[in-house]
Amino acid sequence: KPIPSEFIYGIISNKFLFRNFNNIGLIGANEKLEVIRKLMEYEEYQEYLGLNKFQDYINLTQEFSFNNIKNIRKTIKGLLKKTKSTIFLVSIGEIKSEIFHLLKDYKNATYIDIGCYMDALAGIIDYKLPYASNWINYKIKEYDYSKINNLEFQSKFEKYL
């Protein structure tokens, strides 16, 4: 059922979702999921989110393409069958119009389109976005963030691990 985007932004920003559910998976761009996976190795970041781990990661190439939509559907379908998560946070850009409605057919779970809030989890969200003004962008000192798309952000809160 549709959920207003403001509600979704709120439950990510205030970490309600992470503190109340522990069987959460992520579907998004490989580069962002890679940095999130690395951030989750740090106990301080886990404590910040209120979550010990993300159960599953479904990585897609960062440059989503409508020309390759059949392969993307097939890939997601195959990967979802192997997952254990009951909730998936999804950020797949403009191809969501072609795929998002199919996810429930691939696996019975709750899918939440978090859009740019995957950037928050990756530590690169712009604090000017709705509900992001107090989000701490956790960073890894030795990580090369240049390979992550859309790094045009400003954050008044950053913390290096």
pLDDT tens string 52-98: 999 999 998 766 566 778 888 898 999 999 999 999 999 988 788 88
Q: Across-strand partners of 60?
A: 29
CA dihedral 10, 13, 101, 99 (to 10 degrees): 150
Q: Determine contact, residues 58/118, Cβ cutoff 8 Å.
A: no
Burial, 47: exposed, middle or buried (Cβ in 10 Å; 0-12, 13-18, 19+)?
exposed
CA 85 – CA 36 distance, rounded (Å):
17
pLDDT of residue 154 exceeding 50: no
**Taking the model in full, what pTM does it have?**
0.88
Cβ neighbours, 10 Å, residue 13: 19
pLDDT of residue 47 exceeding 70: yes
